[in-house]
Structure 1
């Protein structure tokens, strides 16, 4: 017998979970959110490593459903850091009085669907059992860290942390020899932030990354008034752009002369945002020749900042195109490698073999002695948060096993065979990677809430995608993704960073606006990809 009976259980208290809790509670449902963290924030609770910050403009990384909620919060700068972002999410939770329906320090262990009752039985690591009609997963697309990667990690005599489990109290780097494994978006933020705090810094680099300079500007009252006056514009614009940002693709490569292209690239580059990646020329994602020209533009900018030919070879990509990996923003990151206390350690052809009490040993037997190891080694993106829970659907089928064979969803909102399991930030939706996350998560949370409202109005208790509906979406997703360079480039975008993970581009690449319209059209047609009982 269950300890608790609910209408809906929400897993996660981050951006999506807080909004979903609010929406379902507004309908009068008995709903509770559970989170393994000790506070709200999701990604912005866990990722408190040095230098963690937005690379979406703060004024668009907000909830847009409530004018007062938007206007009563002011950001200090264009790209604020983790502490400020966490304070904002606490402000949201307090303003909407959400804490009374959130259980912290509780991890969901399993969820089993009962076909006789049409309900889920959920268990937690604290021994709770919950009987609920709906399970809504708001676990985040980057919340399952790749932590156990190297033999001997537990033998290290110093301090070893993964960036997404960084200690609240921080780490004192004074007098320390520090190693950072990984140089993606997170590794870049860590390296550029701690280089002047440590005695020695070694950065273990396998794959070079394109990176764009961040132009972070402070905000005064006039700036706040400027972006707050644009709330209605954002409401109309953000859900309909290609990536959920305020900017969108407006230029066509072939319609401009070479000089005009260069002028446009320079103009966008100087803006210091992700616009060069997400809203310069859409051909970047489809045409290898055009992608190479834009890639060379970025390489040229990076080469101009590096003084050493060895660093240029190690830090600047040449074997994949700009934009086919996640593009980070950085602040004087490249210049860090000119410091006397910083060493770039190439590990592509001489990988890390093991970790020993003294530090890191490479395949050639060389030992790098360290006091602190920071693992910026990424995540099992999109799927990992759910495959680490024992989720059982119809006939006892396992989501972990199903996704271990083939990663499939219906519009990233449900999975065939798992009735009343409603999902956000999972594969085959833009929220899996290619989106300003608040834009996409708000839409998914609203779609889920409206589906529940529809069911209640029509006396239905169970919703499930049809096999046919799911097949149509998967085929459309694959056709769309197959036309892009994402499908041809190994990265976490297609699961290549996780050994044995089925290869599929995780994010829907047809655009945020197109995705939103497709989900709304499906609902307007009586949820044609779904069946009810």
Structure 2
């Protein structure tokens, strides 16, 4: 491993670390590892930095974590100089922020854009990773950092004849850069998760008709978005050190000074109503933190679900539509909670109608629109707000192979396994940021990303200091971690909802719950204990010098590189 800080030439195909992705995770990885003296090279398929915030530019797109917390904490100067304009930043502002980060810290020379990584294969002879990109260039690296993001691989619904539609069709996570005009258009939206909740009110402002196809209603709490005032920004800048500390040791990675500490059942009906109303009016994910037992006590959970359903019935004038929008068959927040203002009120507009797919399922897409069990619905535009192959899709989209040509895609065919959501047994020197088995999907993503990058940097620096070259999770540690993740989930109500968190069991195999529900702070403490105890659950070793010398004389490209030609 080199300690040189010189910039990487595009003609140089051997580096210390390959980084896949140029969003929050990729940018911070470049910054952190470069500062430690490692030669780094990052790739991103997009024509710009930004990761998910480059691709997700659909109308209404914005973050559902407050801007002042959904931001980097590694640089006090960056915190002081960047001025967020809204409580919840829009996509365009977050993208400008990430572009500013790339420029301010001179990260662009280390990023090759418009380039997709096709394969990453561990070469046992050299002890290095062989990487091939879609421009047919080959790279060799001691380490791979997969900063591909947990929500980045689009997923289309399984609907017959979907490709026959003759109108314009869009997936929200691959939205065109140019503005799309929906004036006078009949627009169908399939999907009512976090993306649909943001998109539908925006489309309703201009479209002639918006038809919302809903399979599962979601709980939506108001964001109460607004412009940020100078005194608010000054308060945050003054108190950032304590706020950032509290974020890192909280459950969700979000600072909330009004987080409840007593069970919902310790209050009478009027007191609970008052506390829920205060949190509702304040807006944001803080509503879920009104009481600490909402995801562990079904009786407490029901009080929150009943409160939200009452707000839906107040907001939506048509009783039948209101009932269809009320979630009733899973606990409150057992699926990802949605945050947006004005969603329910949108269904009062004369140009918006709801199709409840539980009562009227889609039969097929036609060239002119959508056919359900009850009617033909003509459309000019079809929008798929159907989300992502979450947590694993982007990684499975790359041909990643570890020891003995083991395929990660095959290994994860029955569900993802990992140690700490960071490493996978049999894949030395491969790190995942915000991977399955980490708290990423249930937390402020930037807090988890910074923690993971700091862990990777610490590992690489410790290896260098100890004279070691490789780190690899053990199979036993991986099995125990997956069991722990599942056992923690079983202590909550989250397993009672069908969601991308909760993967149903395959025949003869246990159910897989993907994210770590123990909380960001607990996870951080566990990782610190593991490292300070001597990297418990990892094997650290040095690749033989003689083996490397012999391999350099006789090695051929690994099998997956040849297959990619």
With the length of structure 1 as denominator, give the TM-score of the two structures: 0.96
Q: Structure 1 residues 171 and 212, CA, compared in 2 at 3 Å: closer, same or farther?
A: same
Does residue 419 (structure 1) correspond to residue 428 (structure 2)? The answer is: yes
User: Hey, what's the Cα distance between the residues in 1 that align with 2:184 and 2:264?
Assistant: 51
Query: Which residue matches 1:140?
Result: 149
Query: Which residue matches 1:485?
Result: 493
Of the candidates 327, 330, 348, which is equivalent to residue 317 of structure 1? 327
Matched residue of 1:265: which SS? helix
Does residue 209 (structure 1) correspond to residue 218 (structure 2)? The answer is: yes
List per-residue Cα deviations over 1:508-532 (Å, max 9, x = no partner).
Answer: 0011100010011101111111001
User: Hey, what's the Cα distance between the residues in 1 that align with 2:97 and 2:126?
Assistant: 40
Query: Does the CA contact (< 8 Å) of 1:416 and 1:467 recur in 2?
Result: yes
Of the candidates 355, 375, 381, which is equivalent to residue 345 of structure 1? 355
Query: Which residue matches 2:282?
Result: 271
Query: Which residue matches 1:334?
Result: 344
User: Hey, what's the Cα distance between the residues in 1 that align with 2:359 and 2:45?
Assistant: 38
User: Hey, what's the Cα distance between the residues in 1 that align with 2:44 and 2:158?
Assistant: 25
Of the candidates 150, 159, 162, which is equivalent to residue 153 of structure 1? 162
Does residue 53 (structure 1) correspond to residue 55 (structure 2)? The answer is: no
Query: Does the CA contact (< 8 Å) of 2:102 and 2:108 recur in 1?
Result: yes
User: Hey, what's the Cα distance between the residues in 2 that align with 1:508 and 1:211?
Assistant: 23
Within 5 Å, give how 1:448-527 maps onto structure 2.
Answer: 448-495=456-503, 503-527=511-535
Matched residue of 2:211: which SS? strand
User: Hey, what's the Cα distance between the residues in 1 that align with 2:153 and 2:500?
Assistant: 12
Query: Which residue matches 1:299?
Result: 309
Query: Which residue matches 2:267?
Result: 256
Query: Which residue matches 2:560?
Result: none
Query: Does the CA contact (< 8 Å) of 1:142 and 1:379 recur in 2?
Result: yes
Query: Does the CA contact (< 8 Å) of 1:406 and 1:502 recur in 2?
Result: no
Query: Which residue matches 2:229?
Result: 220
Shift of 1:230: 1.7
Does residue 386 (structure 1) correspond to residue 386 (structure 2)? The answer is: no
User: Hey, what's the Cα distance between the residues in 1 that align with 2:316 and 2:374?
Assistant: 29
User: Hey, what's the Cα distance between the residues in 1 that align with 2:391 and 2:99?
Assistant: 25
Shift of 1:258: 3.6
User: Hey, what's the Cα distance between the residues in 2 that align with 1:345 and 1:378?
Assistant: 19
Query: Which residue matches 2:538?
Result: 530
List per-residue Cα deviations over 1:396-417 (Å, max 9, x = no partner).
Answer: 1111111112421100110111
Query: Which residue matches 1:283?
Result: 293
User: Hey, what's the Cα distance between the residues in 2 that align with 1:180 and 1:60?
Assistant: 31
Report the count of equivalent residues.
527
User: Hey, what's the Cα distance between the residues in 2 that align with 1:194 and 1:511?
Assistant: 36
- Select the structure of larger CA radius of gyration: 2
Query: Which residue matches 1:130?
Result: 139
Matched residue of 2:363: which SS? strand
Shift of 1:502: 8.5
Query: Does the CA contact (< 8 Å) of 1:495 and 1:503 recur in 2?
Result: yes
Matched residue of 2:512: which SS? coil
Shift of 1:246: 0.3
User: Hey, what's the Cα distance between the residues in 2 that align with 1:87 and 1:314?
Assistant: 38
List per-residue Cα deviations over 1:8-48 (Å, max 9, x = no partner).
Answer: 00110111111011111111111011111111111111100
Of the candidates 431, 440, 452, which is equivalent to residue 444 of structure 1? 452
Shift of 1:157: 1.2
List per-residue Cα deviations over 1:437-457 (Å, max 9, x = no partner).
Answer: 111111011011100110010
In structure 1, runs of 5+ residues without a counterpart are: none
Within 5 Å, give how 1:22-171 maps onto structure 2.
Answer: 22-147=31-156, 149-171=158-180
User: Hey, what's the Cα distance between the residues in 1 that align with 2:363 and 2:387?
Assistant: 18
Q: Structure 1 residues 68 and 387, CA, compared in 2 at 3 Å: closer, same or farther?
A: same
Shift of 1:354: 2.2
Query: Does the CA contact (< 8 Å) of 2:59 and 2:203 recur in 1?
Result: yes
Query: Does the CA contact (< 8 Å) of 1:380 and 1:495 recur in 2?
Result: no
List per-residue Cα deviations over 1:259-284 (Å, max 9, x = no partner).
Answer: 3322222221111111112x222211
Shift of 1:166: 0.5
Query: Does the CA contact (< 8 Å) of 1:430 and 1:508 recur in 2?
Result: yes
List per-residue Cα deviations over 1:443-483 (Å, max 9, x = no partner).
Answer: 01101110011001011111100112112211211110111
Query: Which residue matches 2:4?
Result: none
Query: Does the CA contact (< 8 Å) of 2:331 and 2:496 recur in 1?
Result: no
User: Hey, what's the Cα distance between the residues in 2 that align with 1:428 and 1:280?
Assistant: 26
Query: Which residue matches 2:553?
Result: none
Shift of 1:155: 2.2
User: Hey, what's the Cα distance between the residues in 1 that align with 2:430 and 2:280?
Assistant: 42
User: Hey, what's the Cα distance between the residues in 1 that align with 2:76 and 2:341?
Assistant: 33
Of the candidates 403, 421, 441, which is equivalent to residue 412 of structure 2? 403
In structure 2, runs of 5+ residues without a counterpart are: 1-10, 542-565
User: Hey, what's the Cα distance between the residues in 1 that align with 2:47 and 2:436?
Assistant: 27
User: Hey, what's the Cα distance between the residues in 1 that align with 2:268 and 2:164?
Assistant: 59
Matched residue of 2:335: which SS? coil
Shift of 1:503: 4.4
Shift of 1:350: 3.1
User: Hey, what's the Cα distance between the residues in 2 that align with 1:493 and 1:52?
Assistant: 22
Shift of 1:252: 2.7
List per-residue Cα deviations over 1:66-101 (Å, max 9, x = no partner).
Answer: 100111100111011000110001111111110000
Query: Does the CA contact (< 8 Å) of 1:416 and 1:464 recur in 2?
Result: yes
Shift of 1:307: 1.4
